[in-house]
């Protein structure tokens, strides 16, 4: 398998890594508003002996939940590498069946994270992605994506409190907080952190009741390390780059057919 550049475009952050023999290298993360900064990894990966990536038969593969940013990245990738990006769910399939009412509307990031979690943990399993939104998704015993739950992430919740109230301040995201705050900032921190942890624990419990009471759990996403210590011990395993892993798995399976 040729070298790959795997790119994930989320709502607020983009990440990219060079993948060789299926293994991800160092991951570069940039704000979605600064996708030009990904040229660093694209150009570096494309500069083997002066050859363009397209000339080497390599590929830029993308998982995106942000259509506008994806359109921007297409131009950046072609300019930097000479290769037109290949997009998961459009140019190649994601090899996990979505056993839900509207499978075509499930985000590619959710399917790719589930695919990677299934590869690591087997079936059934539960994957929690803690990004702009939090998703708690279940993989059934037969390996199918069985659905899940979505609620606002920590940053979005903090923003909503500050925008939607007259007196509550915007606070920096906490890494720890008392259960009961003794100041307004502490109270907001407690609500954000322990409220999210409680919601995740309850939703994981519900997912396990559906697909298997002993289903293992894997956390991913930008806020996974923040929330993991506040979750039950059997819900603390973190793998930060599950979507990129799933992206590489999906592309390799498609190319291997």
What strands lie across the sheet with 217-220, from one edge to the other? 145-152, 133-139, 125-130, 217-220
Half-sphere exposure at residue 120, Cβ-oriented, CA atoms within 13 angstroms: 22
How far is residue 100's CA from residue 208's CA, in Å, rounded to a whole number? 17
Six-digit token string for 164: 């939607």
* Secondary structure E strands in the chain: 4-9, 13-20, 23-24, 28-31, 59-64, 86-87, 125-130, 133-139, 145-152, 217-220
The b-or-e profile of 213-226 (16+ CB within 10 A means b, else e) is eebbbbbbbbbbeb
Tokens read off for 207? 């997912």
- Nearest-angstrom CA–CA distance, 155 and 188: 12
Residues with a known catalytic role: 109
């Amino acid at each position: 398998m040729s070298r790959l550049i795997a790119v994930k475009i989320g709502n607020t952050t983009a990440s990219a890594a060079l993948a060789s023999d299926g293994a991800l290298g160092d991951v570069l993360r940039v704000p979605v508003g600064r996708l030009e900064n990904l040229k660093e990894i694209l150009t570096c990966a494309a500069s083997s002996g002066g050859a363009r990536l397209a000339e080497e038969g390599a590929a830029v593969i993308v998982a995106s939940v942000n259509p506008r940013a994806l359109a921007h990245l297409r131009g950046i990738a072609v300019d930097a590498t000479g290769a037109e990006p290949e997009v998961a769910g459009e140019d190649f399939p994601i090899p996990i069946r979505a056993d839900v009412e509207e499978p075509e509307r499930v985000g590619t990031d959710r399917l790719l994270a589930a695919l990677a979690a299934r590869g690591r943990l087997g079936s059934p399993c539960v994957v929690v992605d803690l990004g702009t939104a939090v998703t708690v998704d279940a993989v059934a015993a037969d390996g199918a994506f069985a659905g899940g739950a979505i609620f606002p992430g920590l940053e979005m919740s903090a923003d909503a409190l500050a925008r939607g109230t007259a007196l509550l301040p915007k606070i920096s995201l906490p890494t720890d907080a008392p259960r009961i705050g003794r100041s307004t900032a502490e109270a907001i921190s407690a609500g954000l952190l322990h409220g999210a942890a409680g919601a995740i624990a309850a939703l994981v419990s519900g997912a396990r009741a559906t697909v298997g009471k002993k289903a293992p759990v894997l956390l991913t996403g930008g806020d996974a390390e923040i929330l993991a210590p506040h979750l039950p011990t059997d819900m603390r395993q973190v793998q930060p780059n599950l979507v990129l892993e799933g992206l590489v798995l999906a592309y390799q399976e498609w190319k291997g057919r």
